[in-house]
C-alpha cells in the first residue's frame, strides 16, 4: 500500500498528488529536497525518512520530479515499474501544458490524473502477483550432480581417508599372487611410484631391486630427519629463557623515577615559558584569521604556459574540425551519449583519491541530472558533463550546516559557560597537533583556552600537550593579557576514566572563567568496540558543543569506512534517545597530497558535515579554511 505519490516541478509547484493515508506528505518530500536534490546526492533513487521509504524519478527535459512514498518495512516490487509508467503517461498526456514552461500556465492547468493513476497502480499490483513462485532446485539440476565420480576421488598428495586406505589394502591382497610377500613388495612400490617387479615388461635383477629399495629407504628416513631438525630449531629459541635486562649508558639500575624527566605540575598553575625561538614555533601568516585553502602550485602554472605554446602552431583547419567534433545539435542527452564520458570521469575521480563507491554515486547522480536534458547547438557532451560534475562537487563541499566557532563561542560567553569541543579519530592522524593549532587560533582571537588531556592511554600524550601548552604560553604570556592566563593544561595522568577527566575539566573551566575547553581523546580504530563505547560515554556524559572528527587527507576508501563506523558506533553505544554524532571534520596533512584532494569529497559526502579546518603544515599558523572552488578545481585538473 502506498502512502502517497506526488508530481511537482523543480521550481516547487505541486502539479498532482495522491494521498493513500491521512498523514501529509509535505515533511518527507521537503526532507528529500533538502537532503538529496539540493545536495546533489541523486546517485541512488531511494531515500529513507523516519519510517518511510521514498523513491523518486527526475525528468530533466520537462523539469519534473516524481516521488512515491511507502512504509520501509514493506517490500513492494512494483514501485519502480509504477514510477516509470506514471512518468511516461503523465508526460505524454500533458505535454503541451508542461512545454509552455511558465508558472502561471502550470498553476492554471488542470491535471486530472486520478483515474489514470489508479488504473496504473492496479495493473502494477496485478503484474507483481502473476509471477510464478520459485520452485526449489532438484539434486539432478545442481552442480554437484553434474560432477563425475572420478573428480571426487582424492589424488596423490592429499590425505586419504581411512576407508580409501582399507580398500587399497584389500585390493592389493586380492590382486597379489604371492601372499604377504607380494603385498609387502607392492606397498613401497605404490608409495614411491616405482615398480619393483618389472619395468616396461623386463624383469629386474635382485641387485637392481635392492638398489631401488635402498633409495626408497633413504628418501623415507631423510624426510623424517629434516622434520626432526626443524623441530629442534623451532624449540631452540624457547630454551633461551628470559630477555636480558636493558643496560643504560650511565650504568647502574634504572627505575621509573630516574627515567621520568617531566617536571611535576598541578592543575591551576601556569606553565613556564620556553627559551626557544618563538618565530619558528609560531610560523608565518596571520594567526587570528583563517586563510582560504590554495590548491594551486607553480608547477601547474608552468605546465599551463607550456601547453598553450604548441596550440598556437596548429593549423586553423585542424582547430576548426576539432571544435566541431563532438557537438550535439539541439537533442536530448541519453545514457548512451554520456556513458564513455562518465566512465572517464569516474576513473579520474578515483585516481584523485575519491572513494570508489562515492565516485560511482557521483557519476550516477550527474547522469540522472542530465538524462533527457536538451543541449544547445554548440555544446559538447564532455563539457556539459564536466560542468555538471563541478557544480555537484561544489554543492557537496558546501553542506547544509556551516560551523562558525567564533560566533558560537561568543554566544556561550553571553550564557557564562565554556564552549566545549571534543576531538576524535583514529590513531596517528594528528589530533593533538591540530588541537594546538586551533588553540593558537583561538588565542589570537582573544579567547582563553583550557586543554583537557583525556588521552590516558598513549604514552607521552600528556607530555605532548604540556609541551604545546608551554609554547602557546610563550606566544601569549600573561603579561600581554593583563596578568590573565590564556592557555592551561588540565590533566590527571594515565590510566584514568576519560569521561570523568573531561567532566572535571569543564567544571574547572566554568569556575576559572575559561572561554573554551578543548578535549583531546585517545586515538582508536573504528572496529575497537570497547574504545568506541568509552568515546560514546564521554560524549553522552559531557554533551560537548562540537564533536570534530580528525582525518587524514591521505586516505581513500578508508575514509568512508572510518566515518561510517564512527557514526554507527556513536549511535549504537550512546545511552541517549537521540545520539550525538560527528558535527564537523578536521582534515590534516593536506600539504602532502598535491592535487589528490578526493578525501575531502569522500568525507563530506558520507557525513553531510562541513570540513571546519584544514591542516597544511607543522607550525601553529598552518591552519586553513576550506575553499570549495579551489578544491574542485584541483580535483578536476587533468
> Which pLDDT score is estimated for 316?
45
Please indicate, yes or no, if residue 623 is contained in any of the structural domains: yes
What is the structure's pLDDT at 463? 93
Decide which of 71 and 574 is more confident.
Answer: 71
Looking at the domain assignment, is residue 590 inside a domain? yes
* Other Cβ atoms within 10 Å of 129 Cβ, number: 7
- pLDDT in the model for residue 155: 53
Q: Does the structure show a pLDDT above 90 at 227?
A: no
Report which of residues 634 and 130 the model is more confident about: 634
Long-range CB contacts (within 8 A, 24+) of 62-65: 62/91, 62/98, 62/99, 63/9, 63/10, 63/11, 63/101, 64/7, 64/8, 64/9, 64/10, 64/15, 64/90, 64/91, 64/98, 65/7, 65/8, 65/9, 65/10, 65/37
Position 76 scores a pLDDT of: 85
Cα torsion 194, 198, 204, 210: sign: positive
Least confidently predicted of 106-110, 195-199, 285-289, 479-483: 195-199
Which residue is listed with cell 539432478? Answer: 140
Is residue 237 scored above 70 in pLDDT?
no
Reported as a single tens digit per residue, the pLDDT across 46-81 is 888 888 899 988 887 788 899 999 988 888 888 888
Nearest to 454 by CA among 492, 398, 482: 492
**Total structural domains in the chain?**
3
Distance CA 196, CA 174 (A): 18
Average pLDDT, the chain: 77
Domain check: are 570 and 602 in the same one?
yes
Residue 358 lies in a domain: yes
C-alpha to C-alpha distance for 427 and 105, rounded to whole angstroms? 60
- Binned at pLDDT 50, 70 and 90, residue 281 comes out as low
Can you say whether residue 229 is alpha, beta or left, with left for phi > 0 and alpha for psi between -120 and 50 degrees?
alpha
Structure pTM? Answer: 0.65
Using the predicted structure, report yes or no on whether residue 458 has a pLDDT greater than 60: yes
Per-residue CA distances from 95 to 64, 69, 120, 352, 506 (Å): 12, 25, 19, 43, 64
Mean pLDDT in residue range 26-51: 82
Contact 556, 460 (CB under 8 A): no
Cβ neighbours of residue 543 closer than 8 Å, sequence gap 6 or more: 420, 580
Question: What is d(CA 64, CA 13) in angstroms, rounded to the nearest whole number?
Answer: 10
Helix (H, G, I), strand (E, B) or coil at 220: helix
pLDDT attached to residue 60: 79
**In terms of domains, do 375 and 443 share one?**
no
Instruction: Give the burial class of 137: count Cβ atoms within 10 A of its Cβ; 0-12 exposed, 13-18 middle, 19 or more buried.
Output: exposed
Both 428 and 370 in one domain: the answer is no
On whether residue 204 sits in a domain, the answer given is: no
If asked whether residues 368 and 504 sit together in one domain, one would say no
Largest CA distance in the chain: 112
pLDDT at site 124:
86
Instruction: Give the three cell numbers for residue 630.
Output: 579551489
How far is 196 from 477, CA to CA, in rounded Å?
96
| 472 and 598, same domain (yes or no) | yes
Query: 53-62, 292-301, 327-336, 449-458 — which is least confidently predicted?
Result: 292-301
Do 476 and 588 fall within a single domain? Answer: yes
Q: Render 199-216 in DSSP notation, one character per residue.
A: ETTEEPPHHHHHHHHHHH
Q: How many angstroms separate the CA atoms of 531 and 524, rounded?
A: 6
Who wins on pLDDT, 392 or 203? 392
> 176 lies in a domain?
no
Among the candidates 127, 149, 173, a domain finishes at: 127
| pLDDT value, residue 563 | 87
C-alpha–C-alpha distance, residues 14 and 3, integer Å? 17
Q: 281 in a domain, yes or no?
A: no
- Confidence (pLDDT) at 191: 43
The half-sphere exposure of 103 on its side-chain side, counting CA atoms within 13 A, is 5
Element housing 507 (H / E): helix 498-512
Q: Is 519 inside any structural domain?
A: yes
Contact at 8 Å (CB) between 620 and 475? Answer: yes
Q: Report the C-alpha gap between 512 and 281 in whole angstroms.
A: 28
> Of 218-227, 294-303, 379-388, which range is least confident?
294-303
Please say which residue of 376, 397, 418 terminates a domain. 397
Contact between residue 216 and residue 188 where contact means Cβ atoms under 8 Å apart: yes
Q: Do residues 433 and 498 share a domain?
A: yes
pLDDT for position 416: 92
| Span 484-513, pLDDT tens digits | 889 999 999 898 899 999 999 999 999 999
Q: Look up the CATH number of the domain holding residue 54.
A: 3.30.450.60
Residue 229, pLDDT above cutoff 60: no
Sign (positive or negative) of CA dihedral 409, 413, 415, 421: positive
Q: What percent of the chain has pLDDT over 70?
A: 70
Q: Report residue 6's pLDDT band, with 50, 70 and 90 as the boundaries.
A: very high
Q: What is the pLDDT of residues 525-560, one digit of tens each?
A: 888 888 888 898 899 899 999 999 999 888 877 877
621, 291, 263: which is closest to 475 by C-alpha? 621
* Domain match, 597 and 463 both: yes
- What CATH number is attached to the domain comprising 608? 3.40.50.300
Chosen domain end from 380, 397, 414: 397
Confidence bin at 282 (pLDDT 50/70/90): low
Range with the lowest mean pLDDT among 52-66, 224-238, 476-490? Answer: 224-238
For residues 22 and 611, which has the higher predicted lDDT (pLDDT)?
611
- CA-nearest of 625, 622, 614 to 284 is 622
374 shares its domain with 464: no
**491 and 619 both lie in a single domain:** yes
Number of H helices, E strands in the chain: 25, 18
217 pLDDT above the threshold of 90: no
pLDDT at residue 315, as a whole number: 43
Give the percent of the chain with pLDDT over 90: 22
Residue 320 CA to its chain's centroid (Å)? 45
552 and 575, same domain (yes or no): yes
Comparing 155-159, 555-559, 610-614, the range with the smallest average pLDDT is 155-159
- Between 329 and 138, name the one with better pLDDT: 138
Same domain, 368 and 474: no
pLDDT value of position 230: 47
In a domain, 17, yes or no: yes
Quick one: pLDDT at residue 277?
60
> What integer pLDDT is reported at residue 637 of this predicted model?
82
Contact 154, 164 (CB under 8 A): yes
Residue 311: pLDDT over 70: no
Which comes out higher in pLDDT, residue 531 or 379? 531
Query: Taking 90 as the threshold, does the pLDDT of residue 203 lie above it?
Result: no
Report CA dihedral (112, 115, 121, 127) to the nearest 10 degrees: -130
Query: 488: helix, coil or strand?
Result: strand
What is the per-residue pLDDT across 401-453, written as a single tens digit (0 to 9) for each?
Answer: 778 899 999 999 999 999 999 999 999 899 999 999 999 999 999 999 999 99
Hey, which bits of 382-448 come out as E strands? 419-424
Rounded Cα distance between 423 and 431, Å, is 7
What would you report as the CA-atom Rg of the chain, rounded to the nearest whole angstrom? 36
Range of the domain at 356: 332-397
- 500 phi/psi in degrees, rounded to 5: -70, -40
pLDDT for 443? 93
Amino acid at each position: 500500500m502506498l502512502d502517497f505519490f506526488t508530481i511537482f516541478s523543480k521550481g516547487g509547484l505541486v502539479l498532482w498528488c495522491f494521498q493513500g493515508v491521512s498523514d501529509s506528505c509535505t515533511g518527507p518530500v521537503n526532507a528529500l529536497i533538502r537532503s538529496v536534490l539540493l545536495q546533489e546526492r541523486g546517485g541512488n533513487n531511494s531515500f529513507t525518512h523516519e519510517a518511510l521509504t521514498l523513491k523518486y524519478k527526475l525528468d530533466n527535459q520537462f523539469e519534473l520530479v516524481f516521488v512515491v512514498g511507502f512504509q520501509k518495512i514493506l517490500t513492494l516490487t512494483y514501485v519502480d515499474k509504477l514510477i516509470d509508467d506514471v512518468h511516461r503517461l503523465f508526460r505524454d498526456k500533458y505535454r503541451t501544458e508542461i512545454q509552455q514552461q511558465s508558472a502561471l500556465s502550470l498553476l492554471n492547468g488542470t491535471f486530472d490524473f486520478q483515474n489514470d493513476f489508479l488504473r496504473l497502480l492496479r495493473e502494477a499490483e496485478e503484474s507483481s502477483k502473476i509471477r510464478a513462485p520459485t520452485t526449489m532446485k532438484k539434486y539432478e539440476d545442481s552442480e554437484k550432480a553434474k560432477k563425475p565420480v572420478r573428480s571426487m576421488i582424492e589424488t596423490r598428495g592429499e590425505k586419504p581417508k581411512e576407508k580409501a586406505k582399507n580398500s587399497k589394502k584389500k585390493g592389493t591382497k586380492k590382486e597379489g599372487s604371492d601372499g604377504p610377500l607380494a603385498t609387502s613388495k607392492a606397498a613401497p612400490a605404490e608409495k614411491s611410484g616405482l615398480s619393483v617387479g618389472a619395468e616396461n615388461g623386463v624383469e629386474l635383477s635382485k641387485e637392481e631391486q635392492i638398489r631401488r629399495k635402498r633409495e626408497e629407504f633413504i628418501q623415507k628416513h631423510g624426510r623424517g630427519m629434516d622434520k626432526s631438525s626443524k623441530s629442534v630449531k623451532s624449540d631452540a629459541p624457547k630454551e633461551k629463557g628470559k630477555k636480558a635486562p636493558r643496560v643504560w649508558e650511565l650504568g647502574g639500575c634504572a627505575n621509573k623515577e630516574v627515567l621520568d624527566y617531566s617536571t611535576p605540575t598541578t592543575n591551576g598553575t601556569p606553565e613556564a615559558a620556553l627559551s626557544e625561538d618563538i618565530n619558528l614555533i609560531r610560523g608565518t601568516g596571520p594567526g587570528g584569521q583563517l586563510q582560504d585553502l590554495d590548491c594551486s602550485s607553480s608547477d601547474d602554472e608552468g605546465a599551463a604556459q607550456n601547453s598553450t605554446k604548441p596550440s598556437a602552431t596548429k593549423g586553423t583547419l585542424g582547430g576548426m574540425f576539432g571544435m566541431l567534433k563532438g557537438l550535439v545539435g539541439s537533442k536530448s542527452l541519453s545514457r548512451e551519449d554520456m556513458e564513455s564520458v562518465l566512465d572517464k570521469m569516474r576513473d579520474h575521480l578515483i585516481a584523485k583519491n575519491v572513494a570508489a563507491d562515492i565516485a560511482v554515486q557521483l557519476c550516477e547522480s550527474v547522469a540522472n541530472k542530465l538524462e533527457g536534458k536538451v543541449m544547445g547547438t554548440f555544446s559538447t557532451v564532455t563539457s556539459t558533463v564536466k560542468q555538471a560534475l563541478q557544480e555537484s562537487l561544489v554543492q557537496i563541499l558546501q553542506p547544509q550546516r556551516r560551523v562558525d566557532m567564533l560566533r558560537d563561542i561568543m554566544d556561550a560567553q553571553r550564557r557564562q559557560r565554556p564552549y566545549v569541543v571534543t576531538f576524535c579519530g583514529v590513531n596517528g592522524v594528528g589530533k593533538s597537533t591540530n588541537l594546538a593549532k586551533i588553540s593558537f587560533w583561538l588565542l589570537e582571537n582573544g579567547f582563553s583556552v583550557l586543554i583537557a588531556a583525556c588521552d590516558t592511554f598513549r604514552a607521552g600524550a600528556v607530555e605532548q600537550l604540556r609541551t604545546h601548552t608551554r609554547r602557546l604560553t610563550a606566544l601569549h604570556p600573561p603579561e600581554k593579557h593583563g596578568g590573565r592566563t590564556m592557555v592551561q593544561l588540565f590533566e590527571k595522568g594515565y590510566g584514568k576514566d576519560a569521561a570523568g577527566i573531561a567532566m572535571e575539566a569543564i567544571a574547572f573551566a566554568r569556575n576559572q572563567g575559561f572561554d573554551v575547553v578543548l578535549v583531546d581523546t585517545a586515538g582508536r580504530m573504528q572496529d575497537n568496540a570497547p574504545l568506541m563505547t568509552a568515546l560514546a560515554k564521554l560524549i553522552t556524559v559531557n554533551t560537548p558543543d562540537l564533536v570534530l572528527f580528525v582525518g587524514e587527507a591521505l586516505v581513500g576508501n578508508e575514509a568512508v569506512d572510518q566515518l561510517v563506523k564512527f557514526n554507527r558506533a556513536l549511535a549504537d553505544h550512546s545511552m541517549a534517545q537521540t545520539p550525538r554524532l560527528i558535527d564537523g571534520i578536521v582534515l590534516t596533512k593536506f600539504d602532502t597530497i598535491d592535487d589528490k584532494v578526493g578525501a575531502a569529497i569522500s568525507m563530506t559526502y558520507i557525513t553531510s558535515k562541513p570540513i571546519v579546518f584544514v591542516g597544511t603544515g607543522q607550525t601553529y599558523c598552518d591552519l586553513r579554511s576550506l575553499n570549495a572552488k579551489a578544491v574542485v578545481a584541483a580535483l578536476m585538473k587533468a
